[in-house]
Amino acid sequence: MQIFRLLVIAVAIFLTGCGTKGPRYAEVEANFPTLRPGYGRLVVYRSGGLGAAVQPDIKLNGELVGKSQSQSFFFADRIAGNYTVSARTEVETTLDVDLVDGGTTYVQTSITVGLLVGQSRLTLRDESTALEHLPRLAYTGPIPLVPGVNSIAGRSTDMRTRASPVTLDDLSGLLPPAR
């Protein structure tokens, strides 16, 4: 009976996981960098569900771009073209996507029941479906986005008074100097 209780507790922890912290999509959407000409944006999100503790890496053509975390999203900007999004737990799951010049492609991730660990599911979503989920999700991407404030490259400016949106060139201040 003791083993059964421990098993139930372990399953409960596995299924609930921890809530993701960070600014919400609705708070930072205005701070997204402007896409450079010839680039498309991939937004990957996970709105919850089964297996919150399972957080597989998300790769774009084999390059790590983020983690599938419950109640979160991130984005990656790449040269427009065809790409393969992948996630791996027990098995590798892939999805082919087309990043359109100046456009945004949305991929929803989820975890389904697996033999030992939950398995990833990747689903292409249209913008209206994605925007139903995104506003309440936490941003977990590598570019620092602060609600209402642009603190990139040492500037701290209220975005409501800034004349133009943040560009990828503005982000160059985050990188160490070239040697």
Is residue 165's pLDDT more than 60? Answer: no
The span from the CA of 74 to the CA of 14, in Å, is 23
Selected residue with higher pLDDT from 14 and 89: 89
Q: Is the pTM of this model over 0.85?
A: no
Q: What is the pLDDT of residues 82-132, one digit of tens each?
A: 999 999 988 889 999 999 999 999 999 988 877 777 788 899 999 999 999
Query: How many separate helices (H) and strands (E) can be counted in the chain?
Result: 3, 11
Q: Which residues contact 113 (CB under 8 A, 6 or more apart)?
A: 50, 119
- Going by C-alpha positions, the residue among 90, 87, 94, 88 that lies closest to residue 115 is 90
pLDDT in tens, 56-73: 899 999 999 999 999 999
